[in-house]
A and B are shown apart, each in its own frame.
Chain A
């Protein structure tokens, strides 16, 4: 139901800094503005949901100049979503 993650990388700054830890609520019910962790080939990624079109989520990093996200690799499918961040600690 819950999962703990450590953030690696800087594309979610300033909201989530490198090394910060987050608590995830495992769900695929997400809305625009939610920060989600999703499964990308070979790694789990953390990004913010910017747009939703059916089962396709457009995700971006908060630190847009230093983020590779849906602007580069396109939409993320809902089935890739692991959950949404409910707490950082």
Chain B
């Protein structure tokens, strides 16, 4: 009986297409990825490097240009540290699920510390701190990639 109904329904489907029921994995909003956080952390690292390489000019007239450059680089470093934090938090709150945490029990702690590290790289001009952020984001990206398999 069920087989007959199924066969009949398939014939009906040929005449009139059925509607779509989304079992889609990423409704309602979207696409998740770890590349944005990785890119932001790398940007922070490069800008920190640039800041550390800058040397204050001895020439009085060049001081203003120097201050301007420092200010711009520091501003962009600040911005990308915030982007990094935001991207990490999006993965944390919107993508990762209790099942992922069961499999990776250290994930909460890793993300929490990485978000704090985003603040640390704002406060400091430290390659060590920037490298630490890169490592933490890489760790999150590895877990993210593993959950996508």
Q: Which residues from chain B contact A63 at a C-beta distance below 8 Å?
A: 25
A-B contact count (CB 8 A): 95
* Interface flag for A71 (CB, 8 Å): yes
The complex places the Cα of A73 from the Cα of B9 at a distance, in Å, of: 33
The answer to whether A64 and B99 have CB atoms under 8 Å apart is: yes
Closest Cβ of chain B to A58, distance in Å, is: 14
With A64-B99, A87-B5 as given contacts, are A16 and B23 in contact (CB-CB < 8 Å)? Answer: yes
The answer to whether B100 and A47 have CB atoms under 8 Å apart is: no
* Interface flag for B13 (CB, 8 Å): yes
The answer to whether B21 and A37 have CB atoms under 8 Å apart is: yes
CB contact between A67 and one of B13, B25, B94 (< 8 Å): that residue: B25
The complex places the Cα of A4 from the Cα of B5 at a distance, in Å, of: 12
* Interface flag for B106 (CB, 8 Å): no
The answer to whether B18 and A47 have CB atoms under 8 Å apart is: no
The answer to whether B25 and A11 have CB atoms under 8 Å apart is: yes
CB contact between A45 and one of B13, B17, B23, B97 (< 8 Å): that residue: B23
